[in-house]
């Protein structure tokens, strides 16, 4: 447990943001399938990526096809989904497992889709939860339809291995597509490495064309979602001059929309060769209603930001965030209540947050629910209160291991309890 404060509320900082976890993990699967024929620079140092690297090493080190290989992905949900599809295509006998909480996250749609394509996957008592028992083999491929409203990671997992299906793969996305920008990221990365991918009218067509490339080195850009917390600090600060290194204005990441969104809050983004510099403009507004269907990882940032400013927020199309590291809608509701905010669900996908002038009891402790984004979003409140207490602060290692150290370098005072 830690306490965090910022005495001056003036931030001058040069921040080496973590590399994008989303790009890193997709690249690692492509890298594996290409027998490491190119070099990856600036790979994410977060726990999720480390768990995926370790899992891929476990697969590589298997002695022969007759021995079962147990692959453990820890807490890494993205890796769990990606490896389910990858192992289904690699000859061998595998058991795929992770943390107890991860084994409870939904997997049924991905498993069913892979089975339709010829994969051999079973679960304990056929519950659909992990661990998974996979007999890998070359898959025929073909055509499937999948509900695109639960997790884009299911779709990406299928896409990444589809160039190795004998007949390629056609995916029809049914219903409302969530996290479209993450699917687009997958398309662009696959094309960069020679895959033939077409994406039109909710139909993705991938040809049988194994990855190939003349690229010798691929450098992973910095993580725009990690940048969101610094944008929020800037919006609440008295003054700021924040340099966020490694961000690209023309980004593969959908959360690059932050530069536009925070201009509304009075934050100017000046891009240059090393990243972006944030400064405050005179006068500002705020976002009252926003559709988060393509940017689910920004919901907590804006929920806590508007709560800190005492401003209302209507969040649309965010139902899939209940399936993340925790039920994020319930977690947000519980935590902003501690400063006077009220969250009301108005539809399956939408909720309102009503905020008054924020007040905080000295005894208040912000819980993290084993969710890295709850911890980093709660830190935003240190810009308006004299001190904020956050439990289980180590959860940030899932995506941003150096978060607290970077805050210290930016003038935040952090103490362990």
Inter-helix orientation angle 152-161/21-33, to 10°: 30
Provide the residue count of the chain: 417
Q: Which of 297, 349, 371, 402 is catalytic?
A: 297
Number of DSSP helices (H) and strands (E) in the chain, helices first = 12, 21
Comparing C-alpha atoms, which of 366, 253, 250 is closest to residue 307?
366
Three-state secondary structure readout of 123-180:
EHHHCCCCCEEEEECCCCCEEEEEECCCCHHHHHHHHHHHHHCCCCEEEEEECCCCCH
Contact yes or no for 260/227 (Cβ under 8 A):
no
Asked if 297 is an active-site residue, the reply is yes
- The set of residues, in sequence order, having a beta carbon less than 8 Å from that of 360 and lying 6+ positions away, is 338, 339, 381, 385, 388
* CA distance from start to end of the chain: 5
Query: Peptide bond preceding 305: is omega within 30 degrees of 0, i.e. cis?
Result: no
Bridge partners of 342, per DSSP, are: 354
Catalytic residues: 297
């Amino acid at each position: 447990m830690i306490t965090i404060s910022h005495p001056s509320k003036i931030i001058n900082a040069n921040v080496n943001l973590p590399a994008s976890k989303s790009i890193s993990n997709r690249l690692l699967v492509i890298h594996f399938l290409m027998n490491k024929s190119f070099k990856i620079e600036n790979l994410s140092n977060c726990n999720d990526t480390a768990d995926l690297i370790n899992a891929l090493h476990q697969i590589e080190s298997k002695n022969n096809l007759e021995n079962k290989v147990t692959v453990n992905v820890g807490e890494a949900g993205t890796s769990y989904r990606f490896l389910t599809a990858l192992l289904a295509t690699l000859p061998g006998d595998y058991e795929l497992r992770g943390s107890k909480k991860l084994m409870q996250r939904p997997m049924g749609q991905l498993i069913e889709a892979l089975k339709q394509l010829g994969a051999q996957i079973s679960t304990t008592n056929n519950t659909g939860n992990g661990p998974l028992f996979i007999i890998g083999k070359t898959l025929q491929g073909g055509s499937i339809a999948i509900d695109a409203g639960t997790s884009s990671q299911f779709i990406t997992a299928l896409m990444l291995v589809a160039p190795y299906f004998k007949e390629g793969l056609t995916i029809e996305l049914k219903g409302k597509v969530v996290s479209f920008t993450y699917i687009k990221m997958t398309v662009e990365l696959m094309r960069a490495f020679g895959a033939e991918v077409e994406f039109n009218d909710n139909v993705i067509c991938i040809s049988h064309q194994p990855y190939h490339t003349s690229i010798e080195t691929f450098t992973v850009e910095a993580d725009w979602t990690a940048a969101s917390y610094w944008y929020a600090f800037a919006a609440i600060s008295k003054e700021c001059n924040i340099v966020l290194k490694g961000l690209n204005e023309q980004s593969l990441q959908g959360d690059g929309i932050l530069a536009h969104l925070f201009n509304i809050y009075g934050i100017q983004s000046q891009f240059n060769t090393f990243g972006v510099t944030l400064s405050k403009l005179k006068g500002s507004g705020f976002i009252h209603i926003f559709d988060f269907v393509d940017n689910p990882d920004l919901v907590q940032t804006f929920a806590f930001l508007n709560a800190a400013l005492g401003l209302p927020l209507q969040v649309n199309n965010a139902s899939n965030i209940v399936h993340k590291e925790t039920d994020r809608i319930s977690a947000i509701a519980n935590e902003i209540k501690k400063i006077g905010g009220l969250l009301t669900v108005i539809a399956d996908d939408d909720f309102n947050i009503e905020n008054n002038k924020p007040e905080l009891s000295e005894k208040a402790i912000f819980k993290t629910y084993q969710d890295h984004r709850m911890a980093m979003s709660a830190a935003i409140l240190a810009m308006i209160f004299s001190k904020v207490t956050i439990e289980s602060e180590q959860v940030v290692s899932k995506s941003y291991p150096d978060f607290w150290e970077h805050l210290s370098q930016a003038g935040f005072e952090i103490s362990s309890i």
